[in-house]
Amino acid sequence: MPCSNKRGLIGAALLVSATASWPALIKAAEVIVPVPSPYSYDNATLRQLNLRGSWGRYIGFTGHSVIEWPAVPAQLNAGNPGTIRCNGDRCWREGYIAPTLRGGTPAGSLRHFFNYQLDCRDQTFDRIGDVRLPGHYQRGWQPVLNDPVALAVAREWCPRISELPQGAKP
């Protein structure tokens, strides 16, 4: 819409002259932020453990890991309305089962430092402290393939377990 007064023309002219001095193409600098891996272990905490009465089989250490679990949907049991029976002037309900709702759990993840116990012979590990997880997440001793930290320590240190200091019984 054309400007109808002198003041509008002057303002438009100033705007055009100001934007004419801007570069035609502005290129922003790309900033790369290194993100540390969520999986790591502390070399200073590596030690042999005396579990089940023997040294040279188990490794203990502190590691940082991310555990993710899927959502478990809620389940509704509709129950049964039953049937109404009558005999003369008396009626009653048979077979009624009340509806029930069993709540689910949302999906989630936990980033945390855990104390690990690693069995070099069986290639299994126990992540101490993961019992706080909701849902049906597997806990206790499990294969090292289930955790990148346990797998890395097993590959690096199980062949050289004799180089590690002996720690106390857990």
DSSP state of 162: G
**Non-local CB neighbours of 12 within 8 Å, separated by 6+ positions:** 3
Query: What is the average pLDDT score of the chain?
Result: 83
Contact 130, 140 (CB under 8 A): no
State the pLDDT at residue 118. Answer: 96
> What pLDDT is stored for residue 54 in this prediction?
82
> pTM for the complete prediction?
0.62
Single-letter residue type at 59: I
Structural contact between residues 85 and 74, judged by C-beta atoms closer than 8 angstroms: no
Question: pLDDT under 70 in the chain at which residues?
Answer: 1-25, 131-138, 168-170
